């Protein structure tokens, strides 16, 4: 087992090494000083705290309850033992951080001190993680020694805001799941659950003054049973939806508060509001013909900026603030196209009256007016980074999602910021290129990438850094129809983000985190969490060996988890060969590799290899691919390995934005060719379109090329990898050029209409 040397940056400047398996705490505490011996919990263990302080007892309740239920140990009875051991809990105002704690464990005594009950709660969570995993089992467990190693832990979070956002608007999530999520976030010392309560596809907050919001806005006609963005395709137009009553939400707030979690409610405005506008159409902008926009197709339609809208939103927000005590009320502000404002006579009138030059300034007016109301009730607003457009409202906190720039701009203006850039924090992105992944949103966000995130942008000056309150992982649920899917997308990425939000950068190290996470997964098992197992993922890289043969190298998580593989497309079993060295691909093959444990597939990978005439030949691209989509290198189109059937964001697909594919192969000597096979990715919702036309040219000198074949590609009827092939009379030449022309402009009526499309190209199989 490896040892990891950790620098201590908390209070002491010393360094200590410890085995991460012996202290499998997540998030990693900021200072661990190991001692010898163990403390054993028994029925002789006495709990000491200031008896009048019920809040302190409540903060250690998870420990008391789990010990009682699972270990059969009743901590707070006075034991009749001669030499009782003791757990002492004390408030200590000398501890600086509001959420910090000091935990000192010796063989006879545990002392847990914190400035506030939040710190006590977090110290108790650390104690629970030091106990055997079985403590999370939820029922009595026999024959376990309930002991923990002696240690002094001095700990405090790096950031005060450590959150997860769940979109309950696109898909309604049951209340029991929200409570389960709270349990799990609390185990990781996260302290915010941001609920995206309204969007065009559903209004989930009961509003007493406006009952139609839930009578009409909480239900839509049809939604697919499984995945997809198309909300209209459920058979028979079955109504889909649901909402939370205020009583249910108040109960949820109480439950969260007992776990030291604040629920941050979000009410979308001015866009993403079709569910409200379907309920109260008088608040909508009218289209250029004076008609309302249909529901729910126009997913980003805005409220009209007339006074009635502000009265409505003030009333809605009043009820929201009555239910949710959170200091922060999220008022969104994202992705308003504002197109309707440019046509609607009420909005034009508003701009004239207020002297606003453009629709960005109208949006800023909107947000500032709402902020003023929220501030008048003693609360503060959070908005997505678009609220910077047209000028930031005076006291607003910015949630930076489109990148880190919004967060930087806001911090430079001395506004608080929560960093949640999609690239690191969007849990609706794929987490793996494994076969059978549930359909997800556009891009790839792996566990190590989440872990690598540092919420403080380098460019911020020291005095600006304090405006970064923390970070949050966001799960949008367009493609997440059930809570089981939600768990799959959130875990374990949320566990990695918990460490990002808590542990100082100098101590973070992915290998150590992974060691602790593998143990932590047992606890998630005991909570019946449907987490994804990509942690055990296999990475395949292809290369050419000295003989120019295609070679596949596999890397896994650890030697303990052997990789087995086949080359015939069948799933590996316990009898398949164990991967030991790079595999030479001698003919067309489908490699399937897996990590198996007790017959369960922990990870699986499937790759198709096609050996053809261009593999390993010198190849150049006239225009390099976009740097986000060239992870397999610029030769990925002639490396013999095909891309993922379902996702374009793996190492084998190359992507260009608004540009053509133009690649030239030098076969080295005159070579006969007669066909080309390839695939384009097609996913109009993500602005990705298959090529329009493919041309193959050959040349003898690499200068003068002649066209040998040209073929139009019909617009595909389905999303995904679109096969393409063409052939020609055999021709002999040394060079070949392949040009795949993009769809120049995304056609009207599609997302991103008028913009250049993305073009994604797979292997160019030349024979
Ligand atoms: C967002 O993803 N529209 C905040």
Query: What own/partner pairs with CB < 8 Å and gap ≥ 24 does 393-402 have?
Result: 393/364, 393/367, 393/368, 394/368, 395/371, 396/367, 396/371, 397/328, 397/469, 399/330, 399/472, 401/334, 401/425, 401/426, 401/474
C-beta separation of 78 from 46 below 8 A? yes
pLDDT tens string 701-757: 999 999 999 999 999 999 999 999 999 999 999 999 999 998 888 998 888 888 899
DSSP string, 199-215: ETTEE-B--SS-THHHH
pLDDT for res 227: 43
What's the rounded Cα separation, in Å, for the pair 103 and 150? Answer: 10
Q: How confident is the model over 85-98, as a mean pLDDT?
A: 96
Q: For ligand 1, atom 3, which residue shows the shortest CA distance?
A: 334
- Output the pLDDT for position 760: 97
The hierarchical CATH code for the domain 618-766 is: 2.60.120.260
Least confident stretch, 48-57, 317-326, 418-427, 713-722: 48-57
Q: How many angstroms separate the alpha carbon of residue 414 from the centre of ligand 1?
A: 23
What residues have CB less than 8 Å from 511, skipping those under 6 apart? 2, 4
Please tell me the predicted confidence (pLDDT) of residue 749: 85
Give the nearest ligand 1 atom to 272 CA.
3
Please choose from 270, 337, 398, 401 the residue to mutate so as to test ligand 1's pocket, defined by most ligand atoms within 8 A of CB: 401
Tokens representing residue 299 in the block: 């997913």
pLDDT bucket at 16, cuts 50 / 70 / 90: very low
Q: Residue 318: its pLDDT value, please?
A: 98
How far lies 161's CA from each of 419, 467, 631, in Å?
10, 11, 33
335 pocket-lining for ligand 1 (C-beta < 6 Å): yes
CA 306 / ligand 1 centre spacing (Å): 25
pLDDT of residue 236: 58
Question: Does 335 participate in catalysis according to the annotation?
Answer: yes
Q: In the numeric block, which tokens belong to residue 601?
A: 């597939």
Of 130-139, 145-154, 233-242, the range with the lowest mean pLDDT is 233-242
Residues with Cβ < 8 Å from 714, sequence gap 6 or more? Answer: none
State whether the beta carbon of 334 lies less than 6 angstroms from ligand 1: yes
User: For residues 376 and 18, which has the higher predicted lDDT (pLDDT)?
Assistant: 376
Average pLDDT for the chain: 91
The answer to whether 571 and 605 have CB atoms below 8 angstroms apart is no
Domain residue ranges in the chain: 2-155, 161-503, 539-609, 618-766
Least confident of 134-138, 304-308, 337-341: 337-341
How much is the pLDDT for 90? Answer: 95
Q: Which of 99, 199, 499, 652 is catalytic?
A: 199
State yes or no: pLDDT of 2 exceeds 50: no
What's the pLDDT score for residue 222? 66
Catalytic residue (choose from 171, 196, 272, 682):
272
pLDDT for 10 equals: 34
**Number of Cα atoms under 13 Å in the Cβ half of residue 55:** 11
- How many Å apart are CA 57 and CA 43, to the nearest integer? 18
Ligand 1 in reach of 319 Cβ (< 6 A)? no
Virtual torsion, Cα 548, 552, 558, 564, nearest 10 deg: -140
Domains 2-155 and 161-503 share a fold: no
pLDDT(436) > 80 = no
- The 10 Å CB-count burial string (b at 16+, else e) for 20-55 is beebbbbbbbbbbbeeeeebebeeebbbebeeeeee
**Which token pair is 394?**
């005076």
DSSP string, 60-102: THHHHHHIIIII---TTS----SS-EEEEEEE-TT--STT-EE
Give the residue ranges of DSSP H helices in 188-272: 212-215, 246-258
How far apart, in Å, do the first and last CA atoms of the chain sit? 50
* Chain segment 440-486, per-residue pLDDT in tens: 888 899 999 999 999 999 999 999 999 999 999 999 998 898 999 99
- Ligand 1 neighbourhood includes 121 CB (under 6 angstroms): no
**pLDDT tops 70 at residue 404:** yes
How many A from CA of 335 to the centre of ligand 1? 7
Q: Is the pLDDT of residue 50 over 90?
A: no
Q: How far apart are CA 542 and CA 550, in angstroms?
A: 7
- Three-state DSSP at 762 gives coil
Following DSSP, what letter does each residue of 619-684 receive, concatenated? Answer: EEESSPPPGGG-TT-TTGGGSSBPPPSS-S-STT-EEEES--EEEEEEEEEEEEEEEEEEEEEEBG
- Region 287-312: mean pLDDT is 73
Q: Which residue's CA is minimally distant from atom 1 of ligand 1? A: 334
Ligand 1 near 401 CB (within 6 A): yes
Distance from Cα 402 to the centre of ligand 1, integer Å? 8
Q: Looking at domain 161-503, which CATH architecture does it have?
A: Alpha-Beta Barrel (3.20)
pLDDT classification of 546: cutoffs 50, 70, 90: confident
Q: What is the DSSP string of 393-455?
A: -TT-EEEE-S-SHHHHHHHHTT--EEE--HHHHBTTEE----TTPPP-EEEE--HHHHHT--S
Rounded mean pLDDT of 39-51?
A: 91
**Token code pair at residue 425:** 């924090």
Helix and strand totals (H; E) in the chain: 18, 36
pLDDT in tens, 22-37: 689 999 999 999 999 9
Ligand 1 atom having least distance to the Cα of 474: 2
Do 90 and 53 contact (CB within 8 A), yes or no? no
Please give the CATH topology (third level) of the domain spanning 2-155: Chitobiase; domain 2 (3.30.379)
Q: How far is the CA of 204 from the centre of ligand 1 (A)?
A: 18
Report CA 231 to chain centroid distance, whole Å.
22
Contact residues for 749 (Cβ-Cβ < 8 A; gap 6+): none
pLDDT band at 296 (very low <50, low <70, confident <90, very high): very low
**Closest to 152 measured CA to CA, from 121, 113, 97:** 113
Whether 330 is catalytic is no
Q: Which residues pair with 33 in a beta bridge?
A: 152
d(CA 368, ligand 1 centre) in Å: 20
Identify the residue whose C-alpha is closest to ligand 1 atom 2: 401
Query: According to the model, what pLDDT value does residue 291 have?
Result: 67
Separation CA 691–CA 678 (nearest Å): 11
For the ranges 272-276, 589-593, 611-615, 697-701, which has the lowest average pLDDT? 272-276
| Residue 525, CA distances (Å) to 189, 245, 519, 520 in order | 19, 31, 10, 9
Q: What is the pLDDT of residue 611?
A: 96
DSSP structure string for 508-530: --HHHHHHHHHHHHHHHHHTT--
High-pLDDT (> 70) share of the chain, %: 93
* Given 314, 335, 405, 719, the catalytic residue: 335
Work out the average pLDDT over 615-640.
Answer: 93
228 C-alpha to ligand 1 centroid (Å) = 17
Is the CB of residue 384 below 6 angstroms from any atom belonging to ligand 1? yes
148-188 pLDDT per residue, tens:
999 999 999 999 999 999 999 999 999 999 999 999 999 99
Instruction: Pick the more confident residue, 455 or 49.
Output: 455
Task: Indicate the DSSP class of residue 304.
Answer: P
Reported confidence tier of residue 290, pLDDT bands at 50, 70, 90:
low
> What pLDDT shows up at residue 52?
78
Query: Distance between CA 368 and CA 415 in Å, rounded?
Result: 14
Q: Is residue 272 annotated as a catalytic residue, yes or no?
A: yes
Tell me if 402 CB under 6 Å of ligand 1.
Answer: no
Task: Give the Cα separation of 441 and 475 in Å (integer).
Answer: 10
């Amino acid at each position: 087992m490896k040892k990891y040397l950790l620098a201590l940056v908390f209070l002491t400047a010393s360094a200590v090494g410890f085995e991460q398996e012996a202290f499998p705490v997540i998030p990693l505490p900021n200072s661990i000083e190991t001692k010898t011996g163990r403390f054993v919990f028994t029925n002789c263990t006495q709990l000491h705290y200031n008896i009048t302080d019920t809040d302190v007892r409540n903060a250690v309740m998870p420990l008391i309850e789990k010990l009682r239920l699972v270990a059969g140990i009743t901590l707070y009875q006075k034991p009749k033992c001669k030499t009782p051991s003791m757990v002492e809990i004390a408030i200590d105002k000398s501890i600086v951080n509001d959420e910090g704690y000091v935990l000192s464990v010796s063989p006879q005594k545990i002392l847990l001190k914190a400035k506030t009950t939040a710190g006590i709660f977090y110290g108790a969570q650390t104690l629970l993680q030091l106990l055997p995993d079985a403590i999370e089992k939820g029922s009595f467990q026999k024959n376990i020694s309930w002991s923990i190693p002696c240690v002094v832990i001095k700990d405090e979070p790096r950031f005060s805001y450590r959150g997860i956002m769940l979109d309950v608007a696109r898909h309604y999530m049951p209340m029991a799941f929200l409570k389960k999520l709270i349990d799990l976030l609390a185990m990781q010392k996260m302290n915010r659950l941001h609920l995206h309560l309204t969007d065009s596809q559903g209004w989930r907050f009961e509003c007493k003054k406006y009952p139609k919001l839930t009578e009409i806005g909480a239900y839509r006609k049809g939604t697919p049973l499984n995945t997809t963005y198309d909300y209209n395709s459920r058979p028979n137009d079955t109504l889909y939806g649901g909402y939370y009553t205020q009583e249910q939400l108040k109960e949820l707030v109480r439950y969260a508060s007992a776990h030291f979690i604040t629920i941050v409610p979000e009410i979308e405005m001015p866009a993403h509001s079709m569910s409200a506008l379907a309920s109260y159409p008088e608040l909508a902008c009218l289209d250029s013909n004076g008609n309302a926009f249909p529901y729910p197709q126009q997913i980003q339609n805005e409220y009209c900026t007339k006074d009635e809208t502000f009265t409505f939103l003030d009333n809605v927000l009043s009820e929201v603030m009555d239910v949710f005590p959170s200091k922060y009320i999220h008022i969104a502000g994202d992705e308003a196209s504002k197109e309707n404002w440019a046509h609607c006579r009420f909005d034009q009138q508003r701009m004239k009256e207020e002297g606003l030059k453009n629709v960005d300034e109208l949006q800023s007016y909107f947000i500032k007016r709402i902020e003023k109301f929220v501030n008048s009730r003693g609360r503060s607003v959070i908005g997505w980074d678009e609220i910077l457009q047209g000028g930031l409202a005076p006291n607003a906190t910015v949630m930076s999602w489109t990148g880190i720039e919004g967060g930087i701009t806001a911090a430079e203006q001395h506004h608080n910021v929560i960093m949640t850039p999609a690239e690191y924090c969007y849990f609706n992105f794929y987490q793996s290129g494994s076969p059978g992944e549930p359909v997800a949103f556009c891009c790839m966000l792996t566990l190590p990438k989440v872990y690598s995130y540092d919420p403080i942008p380098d460019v911020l000056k020291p005095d600006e850094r304090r405006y970064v309150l923390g970070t949050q992982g966001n799960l949008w649920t367009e493609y997440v129809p059930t809570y089981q899917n939600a768990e799959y997308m959130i875990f374990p990425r949320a566990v990695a983000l918990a460490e990002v939000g808590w542990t100082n950068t100098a101590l973070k190290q992915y290998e150590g985190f992974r060691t602790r996470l593998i143990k932590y997964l047992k606890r998630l098992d005991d909570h019946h969490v449907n987490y994804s197992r990509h942690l055990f993922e296999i990475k395949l890289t292809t290369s050419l060996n000295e003989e120019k043969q295609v070679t596949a190298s596999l890397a896994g998580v650890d030697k303990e988890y052997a990789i087995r593989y086949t080359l015939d497309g069948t799933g590996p079993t316990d009898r398949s060969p164990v991967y030991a060295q790079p595999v030479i691909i001698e003919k067309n093959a489908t490699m399937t590799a897996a990590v198996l444990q007790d017959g369960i597939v922990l990870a699986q990978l499937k790759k198709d290899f096609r050996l053809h005439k261009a593999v390993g030949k010198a190849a150049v691209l006239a225009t390099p691919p976009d740097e986000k989509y060239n992870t397999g290198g610029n030769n990925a189109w002639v490396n013999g390995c095909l891309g993922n059937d379902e996702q374009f964001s793996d190492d084998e697909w190359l992507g260009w934005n608004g540009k053509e594919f133009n690649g030239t192969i030098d076969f080295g000597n005159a070579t006969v060719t007669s066909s080309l096979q390839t695939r384009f990715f097609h996913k109009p919702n993500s602005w990705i379109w298959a090529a329009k036309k493919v041309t193959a040219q050959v040349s003898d000198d690499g200068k003068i090329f002649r066209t040998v074949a040209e073929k139009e590609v019909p617009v595909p009827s389905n999303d995904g990898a679109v096969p393409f092939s063409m052939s020609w009379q055999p021709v002999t030449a040394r060079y070949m050029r392949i040009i795949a022309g993009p769809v120049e402009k995304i056609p009207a009526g599609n997302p991103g209409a008028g913009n250049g499309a993305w073009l994604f190209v797979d292997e160019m199989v030349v024979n």
